[in-house]
Amino acid sequence: MKTSISILLLMSSITIFAQDRVGEYPPSRRYAPFIKEVTKQKFDQAIIELKNIYIDNDGLSKIVFDPRWENSFTVAYAAHRQGKWIIYVNGGMARAIHMTMDSFKMLLCHEVGHLVGGAPFATGNRWAAAEGQADYFAASKCMKRVLKDKDNHEFLKDKNIPTHVIAACQDAYSDINSQNICQRTALAGINLTSAFSYMLNEAPPSVDTVDNSTVSQTIFDDYPSIQCRLDTIINGALCDIDPIGVNSSNSAHANGCTASNGNPMGLRPACWFNESEFY
pLDDT in tens, 200-228: 999 999 999 999 999 999 999 999 999 99
pLDDT in tens, 95-135: 999 999 999 999 999 999 999 999 999 988 778 999 999 99
pLDDT in tens, 133-181: 999 999 999 999 999 999 999 999 999 999 999 999 999 999 999 999 9
Does residue 26 surpass a pLDDT of 70? no
Nearest by Cα to 17 from 84, 74, 86, 70: 86
Contacts 24+ apart (CB under 8 A), 228-231: 228/132, 228/269, 228/271, 228/272, 229/131, 229/132, 229/135, 229/189, 229/193, 229/196, 229/205, 230/189, 230/190, 230/193, 230/205, 230/206, 231/269, 231/271
Nearest by Cα to 199 from 41, 47, 14, 23: 23
Give phi and psi for 83, each to the nearest 5.
80, 0
pLDDT in tens, 30-76: 888 777 789 999 999 999 999 999 999 999 999 999 999 999 999 99
Query: pTM to 2 decimals?
Result: 0.90
pLDDT in tens, 228-271: 999 999 999 999 999 998 999 999 999 999 999 999 999 999 99
Nearest by Cα to 77 from 148, 174, 152, 6: 6
Please give the helix or strand (H or E) that residue 63 lies within, else none. Answer: strand 63-68
CB neighbour burial string for 17-48, b if at least 16 within 10 angstroms, e if fewer: bbbbebbeeeeeebbbeeebebeeeebeebbe
